[in-house]
Amino acid sequence: MAKDNFMEKLKAFWDRNVAKSRLGQLFIVLFVITIFFVLTEPKFFRWQTYESMLLQMSELGILAIGVFLCILVGGLNISILGSANLSALMAGLFMLSMARDGMTDAQLNLLVLQAFGVAILVGALCGLFNGIIVGYFRLPPLLATLGTGSLFIGLFKGITSGESIFGYPENLGFIGGGKLLGIPVPFYLFLGATVIMYILLHYTKFGYRMYMTGANETTAIFSGIDTRSVIMKTYIVAGILSSITGMIILSRTMSANYDYGAATYVLFTIFVAVISGSRAGFGSVINMFVAMFALQTLQTGFNYLLQTVRGNTYFRDFIWGLLLIVFLIINYFTNVKRIEQN
Amino acid sequence: MKLKIFKSYEFLLFLLLIAFAGMIGLFNPAFFSIGTLFDVIRIQTIYILMAFGLLPVLILGGVDISFVAIAAVSTFPIHMWLIGLGYEGGIWLYYILCTAVGILVGLLIGFLLDTFKIRIFDLSLGMNTLLYGFTLFFVGSLTNFDMPAGMVGWNQRWLFTVQSVVGISGLHISFISIFIVGFLLHYFLRYTTLGRGVFAVGSDKSVAIRTGFNLRKVYMTVFPIMGALSAIAGLTYSVLEANFRPYLFLGKNMQVLAACVLGGAAVTGGRGSVLGTFLGTILIGLVNQALVYLGFETQWFDFVVGTIFIIYATFQTATTRSKR
């Protein structure tokens, strides 16, 4: 009897936390991946590995949150990498034009901070541009952001003649390469972005309106929500998030490069959105966070496994493309289940 | 009937093209020559073919970015294979095999899209990375300059040539393929039931299904067409340039997409024409040439294409909305 009771409880627990919860599934995926790499690669389970993972996932994670927000309001954002690189360039050019010989350390720090401000401004402007054409002019978000992405990168290429721009003050390195309490600084930015977005989505009117707009725009309009403005603001937030990533990239590579991250970054952001179960009106930033962790674990694990393979970057591209398609197919089956249950 | 022609979008685009060319000609008279025209056409032939392939997908209401990767995956592996076998014959075997690979990839895409109800863009994003990764890793990552004996000199087969300021410019025989493909595609889209189905699905999916159009059939036709045309474009380009690259057309998808939209393909699906796409691609080509002739760096090209695309798409969406 006691055993049956236990089984029932277990089943109820399973249903609630795994079968019907994407977060639970994500944790299981993360766990399985981690176990797999720990067993196959002895060097995997070390603090050093996790430190570099925290660094790498932050850059992409902040971008992915931006894309997630756009998906949440029923859109998509392909231009996010373009606006990240463009804001990095503008911040870089700002620093190069303002830096003088013999500046004190404090002055240089202030300069970096100002450059961060410039980046955020540029990111917000890119977002505003996206927001206006998607929110007010009603362009299909996919095509619109595909176009603006090409526009931002084209602007970058035009300004720099396609060259990368470098030669920034050393102080910039702290944002991307610094550590606080043994944890890379970018991770604090990622964590901060996640927490702020969580609060924004769940504890403010604006967040609630975002969910409403995404779930059913017509209903939202009739409930008195100005959906156009909600969409525009969402794209601005996404633009600002992308500029933070831009600053991290700029600081880590100490150069602004128009094709940094090119094709794969967009793929990764969509990938994270797909595996975290985000779609218009549904999704959670916590899921995004865990999904990002799972993706980074996979990526780092692959790096270890493929170390000795020649041309392994190409093989990784191949695998990522394949995985995205596989997860799109899995997504179909989980969606079918959900529809049947309803 | 006459009035209808003048009112049509394609005619407007044609006027725009002439006006644009005339404007650049005012700044730089060297631009106004048959030579320039031939240059634009030779470069754009490939893009026109790809744009023709993308057109039915856009009419379906989807956006695909993987067609460039299909061009790479259907030419480079076939080339390396045939070179490895010591093939010395003409280009026709290449055309047949490459097109076959393109069609197969297209069939796979169509099958996945229909069976698993995946959004076209998401799948194409995965396919794009997968196919380039496949070609670069499993086949090779270096440009190959070998050419079978039967194919050497094919890139110099001109229909006719003219002497211009910059040298001899010619109209390549691959130009004919545009007319053949364009005519077939036009016939398919306008006069076959399946072709009308593409428009129907693009306008309203659920209505199209209830009308009796077979969604699977539509997908399984549109994507092989895209695959085949990408393969032909990729092969033509490779032979014209006399080298085969595994990263062929990488990053060129935006240009083709912009050309289609400029050519009147609705960004929301359900509208588009072969003639418009042709003119749109030529216009994008002219813009590219104009930058050179007006003394701008070619690095501004992406920016200009992006700007045209956004302005144009905004204009298009605004006018179609006011009509409703």
Q: How far apart are CA A275 and CA A298, in angstroms?
A: 13
Report the C-alpha gap between A82 and A266 in whole angstroms.
10
Label residue B301 by pLDDT band (50, 70, 90). confident
Distances in Å between the Cα of B19 and the Cα atoms of A256, B12, B280 are 39, 10, 14
Quick check: B293 and B31 in contact, CB under 8 A?
yes
In angstroms, the CA A283 to CA A286 distance is: 9
> pLDDT per residue over B119-157, tens digit each?
888 899 889 989 998 998 888 888 888 888 877 777 777
Tally of structural domains, chain A = 1
The average pLDDT across A316-326 equals 86
pLDDT at A102 exceeding the cut of 80 = no
In a domain, B32, yes or no: no
% of chain A residues with pLDDT over 70:
94
Residue in B67, B108, B111, B130 to test binding to A, most A beta-carbons within 10 Å: B130
Q: Considering chain B, what percentage of its residues have pLDDT values greater than 90?
A: 27
Are the beta carbons of B203 and B44 closer than 8 angstroms? no
pLDDT exceeds cutoff 90 at B240: no
Query: Hey, are the CB atoms on B302 and A143 less than 8 Å from each other?
Result: no
3-state secondary structure of A256: strand
**Do the Cβ atoms of B116 and A158 come within 8 Å?**
no
- B300 contact residues in A (CB cutoff 8 A): 154, 157-158
Interchain pair A314, B141: CB under 8 A:
yes
- Please indicate whether, in this complex, the C-beta atoms of A262 and B251 are within 8 angstroms of each other: yes
Give the tokens for residue B267: 């960004």
A45 domain-assigned:
no
Per residue in B72-100, pLDDT (tens digit) is 999 999 999 988 888 887 788 889 999 99
Mean pLDDT of the residues in chain A: 83
- pLDDT at residue A337, as a whole number: 67
Whether residue A21 lies inside any domain: the answer is no
How close B152 comes to chain A (CA, Å)?
Answer: 31
Q: Identify whether the C-beta of residue A72 lies closer than 8 Å to the C-beta of residue A276.
A: no
Token pair in block for residue A71 = 């998906």
**pLDDT, tens digit, 9 for 90 and up, residues A223-237:** 888 888 899 999 999
Facing A321 at nearest CB: one of B126, B261, B302: B126
- Is there a domain that residue B320 lies in? no
Residue-range definition of the domain harbouring residue B96? 45-158+165-251
Residue A202 bridge partners (DSSP): none
Contact between A84 and A92 (Cβ < 8 Å): no
Cross-chain Cβ contact B137/A142 below 8 Å = no
Range B279-285 average pLDDT: 88
Parent domain of A132: 57-305+312-333
Question: Does A154 contact B305 at a Cβ distance shorter than 8 Å?
Answer: yes
Least confident of A154-168, A173-187, A259-273, B310-324: B310-324
Q: Write out the two tokens for A107.
A: 């002055």
Helical spans, DSSP H, in B242-300 = 253-262, 274-293
**Is the Cβ pair A140, B136 closer than 8 Å?**
no
Specify the pairing of strand A165-166 against strand A179-180: unpaired
Domain assignment of residue B274, yes or no:
no
CA-nearest residue to B126 within chain A is A321
pLDDT in tens, A58-83: 888 998 999 999 988 888 888 888 89
Chain B residues close to A155, C-beta within 8 Å: 303
Distant-in-sequence, close-in-space partners of A271: CB < 8 Å, separation ≥ 6: A295, A320, A323, A324, A327
Q: Which of B137, B310, B314 sits opposite A311 (nearest CB)?
A: B137
Element (H, E) at A135: none
Is residue B215 included in any domain, yes or no? yes
DSSP state of B271: -
Q: What is the pLDDT of residues B18-58, one digit of tens each?
A: 888 888 778 777 777 777 777 778 888 899 999 999 999 99
Residue A34 dihedral angles phi and psi, to the nearest 5° = -60, -50
Q: State the pLDDT at residue B6.
A: 58
Strand, helix or coil for residue B108 = helix
* Predicted local confidence at residue A31, as pLDDT: 84
* Across A13-25, average pLDDT: 73
pLDDT of residue A256: 74
User: In this predicted structure, which of A162-176, A280-294, B187-201, B260-274 has the lowest mean pLDDT?
Assistant: A162-176
- pLDDT score recorded for residue B51: 93
- In chain B, residues with a C-beta closer than 8 Å to the C-beta of A152 are 306
Beta strand extents in chain B (DSSP E only): 158-164, 167-172
- Chain A residues touching residue B309 (CB < 8 angstroms): 147, 150-151
- Residue A317 phi, psi (nearest 5): -55, -45
Half-sphere exposure of A90 (CA within 13 A, CB side): 24
pLDDT surpasses 90 at A286: no
Pair A232, A28: CB distance under 8 Å: no
Strand boundaries in chain A, DSSP class E? 165-166, 179-180, 183-184, 255-256
In a domain, B312, yes or no: no
Query: Which helix (DSSP H) or strand (DSSP E) does residue A32 occupy?
Result: helix A22-40
What's the confidence (pLDDT) of residue B49?
93
CB B198 within 8 A of CB B60: yes
Query: Cα–Cα distance between A1 and B313 in angstroms, integer?
Result: 68
Find the length of chain B: 324
- Percent with pLDDT over 70 in chain B: 94
Residue among A138, A158, A314 minimizing CB distance to B137: A314
B132 to chain A: closest CA residue:
A318
The pLDDT assigned to A120 comes to 93
Residue A121's pLDDT band, with cuts at 50, 70 and 90, is very high
Nearest to B313 among A76, A144, A329 (CB): A144
List of chain B residues whose C-beta atoms are within 8 Å of the C-beta of residue A151: 302-303, 306-307, 309-310
Q: Which residues of B touch A319 (CB under 8 A)?
A: 133
8 Å CB contact of A324 and B300: no
- Flag whether A113 is in a domain: yes
Chain A closest CA to B319's CA: distance in Å?
Answer: 11
The verdict on a CB contact (< 8 Å) between A157 and B268 is no
Q: Which range has the worst mean pLDDT, A36-45, B99-108, B216-225, B248-257?
A: A36-45
pLDDT averaged over chain B?
84
Q: What percent of chain A has pLDDT over 90?
A: 13
DSSP bridge pairs for B162: B169
Per-residue pLDDT for B322 more than 60? no
Q: Answer whether residue B244 is part of any domain.
A: yes
Residue type, B73: V
Q: Do B303 and A317 touch (CB under 8 A)?
A: no
Residue A182 within any structural domain of the chain:
yes
Residue A39 lies in a domain: no
Does residue B324 carry a pLDDT above 60?
Answer: no
Residue A77 domain-assigned (yes or no)? yes
Per-residue buried b or exposed e for B173-185, using 16+ beta carbons within 10 Å of the residue's own CB: ebbebbeebbeeb
So what's the pLDDT on residue B83?
87
Is residue A6 a part of any domain in this protein? no
**pLDDT above 90 for B223:** yes
CA distance B205 to chain A (A): 17
Alpha carbons B88 and B101: distance in angstroms, whole number: 21
Beta strands B167-172 and A179-180, pairing class: unpaired
Q: Are A272 and A4 in contact (CB under 8 A)?
A: no
Domain count, chain B: 1
Asked if residue A258 belongs to a domain, the reply is yes
Which pLDDT does position B1 carry in this prediction?
43
Residue carrying structure tokens 């289609």? B260
SS3 A279: strand
Burial code (b: 16+ CB inside 10 Å, e: under 16) for A44-56 equals: beeeebeeebbbb
Which residue in chain A has the smallest CA separation from B306? A151
Return the residue matching tokens 């610094």.
A178
Helix A22-40, helix A285-306: angle, nearest 10: 20
Residue B229 reports pLDDT greater than 90? yes
* B257 within 8 A of B309, measured Cβ to Cβ: yes
